[in-house]
Structures are given as C-alpha cells and as structure tokens.
Amino acid sequence: MGSAIITGFLHYGLPMWHLRPRINPETMLTWPSVYQLLPYQQSGLFLDKSLEPLPDFDIHDLNSWKEYKLSIFSERMEKRIKRHYGDLAGKRIKQLKIYMKNMLRRSKRFHEALEVDENIAKYPFPVLGFAGDCLLTPEYIILSRDGEMILNRHDLESPGDGNVSINSFLGFESHMLTKSKVRRSHVHLDHTMFICETHSALTENKTFHDNLLHILLDERESTFQKGE
C-alpha cells in the first residue's frame, strides 16, 4: 500500500548519514521509483493536526501539493534552488513542476493497474514475501497548509522495517485511526517471513539468506519430483 516515509523524501529529502547530511528533495523528486512507492490515495493515511482525515488532499494531484506548500512548492526548496541556479532558477522550478506533475499521474496509473483484480490468473510461480517487523515505522502523514509535514509521531507508528509497515507489506489499509472498510490487496503471497531488520539491510541479513535458500531448494526439489 506504499510507504508514508517516501512522501517525506519529496519534502525533506533522504537522510544519508554515512555519505552526506541528506539527498535534497529537489533531487529526490527526479527519481521515478519514488513516485511508485507513494501511499495509495484510498489508504486513509493523510491527516490534519487534529488527526482527522484529509479527503481533499489528492497525493496524485500537483495542486494538492501546491495547496499544502509541499516539496517543490515549499519556500525552503525555492530558496535553495534560487541560490544554486541564480538567474536560471525560475526555469528550473518550472521544469521540476512539470516533471513532478507527470510522475504523479504515472504513479496514479501504476497504483490503479495494481488494483485491477478482475480475471486475474493465478501466478504460475510461488510469490515470496520477506519483511522487517521490529522497528517502529511511520504509518500516517500529518499535513498543514503552512508546509509542515509530520511523519515521526511515535503514537501513530506501527511495526515494520523503518520504511515499510507490516500493514503496507501485507496489503492492508491501515485503520488505526480511520474507519474505512478493511480491504486487502488481491496479490496473494504463498510464503511470508518476518525478520528483525531495517529496510535497506534486509537482503543482507543472514536469516533472510538462509530462509530464501531453503525455500528455493525446496521448490526446486518439488519441481523435479513433479516432473518424474
């Protein structure tokens, strides 16, 4: 169902402590993959400071970002671009707005494609899912019209890997606060495994390697037996 923290990358940037303070948001918004990981519009994760849902905020509509002074519409980003680009800042800001608008549209189509569940044939191969489950992970996005975005309220976090919550991994809509109809993605996982690890280090985890190898070898043996 997407990642709440990804939205913060487009507004605050991506922390990279071992390389530099962070990758700035004007760079992050040029990464196509970021938009694919945005939370689903119908997930009910967007709240105001009173923790009430924001039905008027459409994450796929650039006008909503403008209304809440987020990302390319924040004063902070505008000042930084003007400092870096000088007389060409206006042109660069216009380019980034056009690019972001197009990518948000693509993100919407991508999410809609994933939600199509009519006449979906069963996958011809098993689908495996590995996820982290021991780190508090941002679940909601609190917005205000002055450009503030709050992600790190501990009372609104849930177990995950720091970036992706268990709810999102399993395809559940979060209903900690909202009372929307509980819904699950149609994607069926044949095997799920939860590991205490961060999102970026999950595939380096020894437990991940051991279990993946075991599953692959077991599947290979089953395939050979069926062929006999």
Confidence (pLDDT) at 224 = 41
| pLDDT > 90? residue 114 | no
Confidence (pLDDT) at 21 = 75
Distances (CA, A) of 30 to 73, 97, 183: 15, 10, 32
- 126: confidence class by pLDDT, cuts 50, 70, 90: confident
Q: What is the pTM of this model?
A: 0.81
Q: Residue range 118-142: average pLDDT?
A: 82
Name the more confident of 171 and 195. Answer: 195
Confidence (pLDDT) at 19 = 60
Q: Indicate the SS3 state at residue 176.
A: coil
Taking all residues of the chain, what is their mean pLDDT, rounded to a whole number? 84
Q: Tell me how far apart the alpha carbons of residues 80 and 13 are, in angstroms, rounded to a whole number.
A: 13
Confidence (pLDDT) at 182 = 43
Distances (CA, A) of 209 to 14, 119, 161: 27, 34, 17
Q: For residue 109, which phi and psi values (nearest 5 degrees)?
A: -65, -35
Tokens 């994450």 appear where? Answer: 59
Distances (CA, A) of 129 to 27, 107, 166, 194, 203: 30, 23, 11, 9, 12
| pLDDT > 60? residue 209 | yes
- 78: confidence class by pLDDT, cuts 50, 70, 90: very high
What is the maximum alpha-carbon separation in the chain?
72
- 187: confidence class by pLDDT, cuts 50, 70, 90: low
Q: Residue range 132-149: average pLDDT?
A: 92
